[in-house]
Amino acid sequence: MSDLPKLVILLPTKNEEEGISEVFDRIPKGEIAEMGYSIHVVVADGKSQDRTREIAEKMGAKVVLQNGATGKGNGVREALEVIFQEEDNDDQTLLIMLDADATYSPEDLPRFIDFLAENEVVWGSRMRGNIAKKAMSRTNRLGNWLLSTFASLVFLRRTSDLCTGYWGFRLNTLENLNLTAEGFNLEADIFASVVKSKVKTKEIPIDYAHREGESNLKWYKDGPRILLMTISHRFK
């Protein structure tokens, strides 16, 4: 067992065989080791029907297969329950979550680690970084702007990218969040829970690239669910 503090990299997946190998390969392992962290990759797999789990296991990840109801939120919460029970966690353990479709840059992991030295939660904003041409549709960009503006107003805490999938936490802070999201409303659930917990946070610019494989998100279903999650947190 390593004496170094742990960095848990959590990758939610569902049929991501086209992107997950690239994400693994691009993790800056040497740089993270020089920063004093041991890397533990955990894949929260939402019942993939392709080779996602096989690839992840071959690359050394711990795979947590979603057993309960479908949905990203459910899968991530199941994986977190497993992670929280690991005996080698301590108050220096960090967890960074990013999607496994190669849209987010694993090269940004050291930046998240740096900002977590002075903050308890860090999230990446695609709106403040560089978005590759046609990587995000106009519909998704407009919807995200509307949802982010609404969340910023009702919680009096600025976020320019409510729907970002790139989050960093001190693990003991994450354990204290009461997350309930079932699907793609997970990120709204996280943001609202973080703001209500009054922990120190930081939003940083990140880049966003074209995804590998097809998206599981459907704006006409998931947009209203994200809005409802934001409203329910504000008034409960």
pLDDT higher than 90, residue 152 = yes
Average confidence (pLDDT) over 117-141: 93
Q: Which two tokens stand for residue 11?
A: 């990758």
pLDDT higher than 90, residue 230 = no
Residue 44 pLDDT grade (very low, low, confident, very high; cuts 50, 70, 90): very high
C-alpha 147: how far from its chain's center?
18
| pLDDT tens by residue, 84-108 | 999 999 999 999 999 999 999 999 9
Rounded Cα distance, 92 and 5, in Å:
6
CATH 3.40.1130.10 fits 6-235, yes or no: no
- pLDDT for the residue numbered 196: 93
Do 159 and 151 meet the contact criterion of CB atoms below 8 Å apart? yes
pLDDT higher than 80, residue 216 = no
- pLDDT for the residue numbered 138: 87
